[in-house]
C-alpha cells in the first residue's frame, strides 16, 4: 500500500510528516473488552462562566445552545434549539491531521472498543463484530433546522425504546475517507421528525442518542456545564450530526 506518512495536502502546506500507523488496518491495539465506558471527550474548561436558566439550572455560555438536552425534551410538539449539525472545517489543516492521527492511534480506554476505518466494508465488519450480524444503520438525513428553533414531530424509540447498545461512527477530517467508530453501551436511540416552527412541515429526520449512565464522565464535560448537573445524576442526549452513523441491532 505504500508509505503511511502524509506530508502535504494543500498548496504551501508542508509542516513535516504526520504518521498514521493504523489507517486501513484492523482493530486498534489495546484492551478491546466490551464493558461500560465513557466515550465522550473531555474538552471544557471548568472555569467557564455560567448563567441561570428559567428552571434554575446552570448553563454554560460557551456551550452551543441545543448541543446537549434531556430525554424529556424529545416529545411531539415540544420546541427546542437545534445545534449546528453541519460538518465543520477547521481553520488549520495541520490541526486537522494531527487530531485525526492522535484519535486513531491512541490506545483504547479500559473497556473501550474502537476502530478507525477507511471503507464502508470495514465499518460494517466492526459493527457486526460488536453487535452481531443483524444490524441496521441510521443517520440524520439533512442539515435543515441547524441553529434554529424547531418543533419536535413524531418520535420513535429504536429497539422498542429500550436500553440498547450502539456503534457510533464519526467522519474524521482527513484527506481520505476515514471514520472513527466506537462502542457505546447503555443508551436509548431515537428517530425524530423535525418540523418547521411556523408551518409545522417536516424539514428533517434526525437521530438522537441518550447516554443513560454518565457516572464515569468528567465533571467538566460540556454536557454538565450546559445542563447544570454532574456525573451520574442525569442522562445526556445529543443529535447525530451530518455524516455520522448510528449502528444498532435491527428491530
pLDDT digits (tens, 9 = 90+) for 34-68: 333 333 333 233 333 343 333 334 444 567 888 89
CA distance 7 to 14: 6
CA Rg value for the chain: 19
Round the average pLDDT of the chain to a whole number and report it. Answer: 78
Q: State the pLDDT confidence band at 16, using cuts at 50, 70 and 90.
A: very low
CA distance 194 to 79: 10
* pLDDT for residue 32: 38
With respect to residue 50, please indicate whether it lies within any of the assigned structural domains.
no
What pLDDT, in 10s, does the model give residues 88-116?
665 577 888 888 899 899 887 666 799 99
Q: Which grid coordinates are listed for 236?
A: 445526556
Average of per-residue pLDDT across 182-204: 96
pLDDT of 248 over the 90 cut: yes
pLDDT of 232 over the 90 cut: yes
83 bridge partner residues? none
With respect to residue 10, please indicate whether it lies within any of the assigned structural domains.
no
| Local structure of 161: helix, strand or coil | helix
CA atoms within 13 A on the CB side of 172: 25
Report the number of distinct structural domains present in the chain. Answer: 1
* pLDDT for residue 117: 97
Q: Which domain range does residue 234 map to?
A: 64-249
CA distance 8 to 227: 41
CA distance 183 to 129: 10
Average of per-residue pLDDT across 73-81: 92
With respect to residue 211, please indicate whether it lies within any of the assigned structural domains.
yes
* pLDDT for residue 89: 60
* pLDDT for residue 199: 97
CA distance 168 to 117: 12
With respect to residue 134, please indicate whether it lies within any of the assigned structural domains.
yes
With respect to residue 122, please indicate whether it lies within any of the assigned structural domains.
yes
| Local structure of 180: helix, strand or coil | strand
* pLDDT for residue 88: 63
* pLDDT for residue 107: 84
Q: Which of 246, 240, 236 lies closest to 72, judged by CA?
A: 236
With respect to residue 216, please indicate whether it lies within any of the assigned structural domains.
yes
CA distance 134 to 45: 41
CA distance 174 to 185: 27
Least confident of 36-45, 129-138, 170-179, 202-211: 36-45
CA distance 12 to 194: 43
Q: Which of 168, 174, 156, 177 lies closest to 211, judged by CA?
A: 168
CA distance 53 to 1: 54
Average of per-residue pLDDT across 114-142: 97
With respect to residue 87, please indicate whether it lies within any of the assigned structural domains.
yes
Q: Which of 233, 228, 236, 248 lies closest to 211, judged by CA?
A: 236
pLDDT of 120 over the 90 cut: yes
Amino acid at each position: 500500500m505504500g508509505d503511511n506518512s502524509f506530508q502535504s495536502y494543500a498548496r504551501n502546506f508542508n509542516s513535516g510528516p504526520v504518521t498514521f500507523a493504523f489507517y486501513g488496518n484492523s482493530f486498534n491495539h489495546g484492551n478491546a473488552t466490551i464493558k461500560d465506558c465513557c466515550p465522550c471527550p473531555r474538552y471544557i474548561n471548568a472555569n467557564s462562566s455560567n448563567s441561570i436558566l428559567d428552571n434554575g439550572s446552570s448553563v454554560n455560555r460557551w456551550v452551543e445552545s441545543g448541543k446537549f438536552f434531556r430525554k424529556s425534551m424529545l416529545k411531539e410538539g415540544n420546541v427546542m434549539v437545534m445545534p449546528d449539525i453541519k460538518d465543520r472545517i477547521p481553520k488549520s489543516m495541520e490541526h486537522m491531521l494531527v487530531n485525526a492521527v492522535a484519535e486513531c492511534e491512541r490506545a483504547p480506554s479500559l473497556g473501550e472498543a474502537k476502530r478507525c476505518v477507511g471503507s464502508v466494508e470495514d465499518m460494517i465488519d466492526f459493527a457486526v463484530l460488536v453487535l452481531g450480524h443483524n444490524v441496521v444503520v441510521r443517520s440524520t438525513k439533512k442539515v435543515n433546522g441547524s441553529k434554529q428553533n424547531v418543533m419536535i414531530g413524531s418520535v420513535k424509540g429504536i429497539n422498542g425504546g429500550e436500553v440498547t447498545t450502539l456503534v457510533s461512527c464519526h467522519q474524521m477530517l482527513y484527506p481520505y475517507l476515514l471514520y472513527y467508530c466506537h462502542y457505546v453501551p447503555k443508551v436509548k436511540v431515537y428517530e425524530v421528525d423535525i418540523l418547521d416552527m411556523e408551518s409545522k412541515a417536516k424539514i428533517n429526520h434526525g437521530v438522537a442518542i441518550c447516554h443513560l449512565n454518565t457516572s464515569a464522565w468528567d465533571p467538566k464535560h460540556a454536557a454538565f456545564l450546559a445542563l447544570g448537573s454532574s456525573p451520574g445524576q442525569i442522562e445526556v442526549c445529543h443529535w447525530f450530526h451530518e455524516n455520522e452513523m448510528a449502528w444498532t441491532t435491527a428491530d
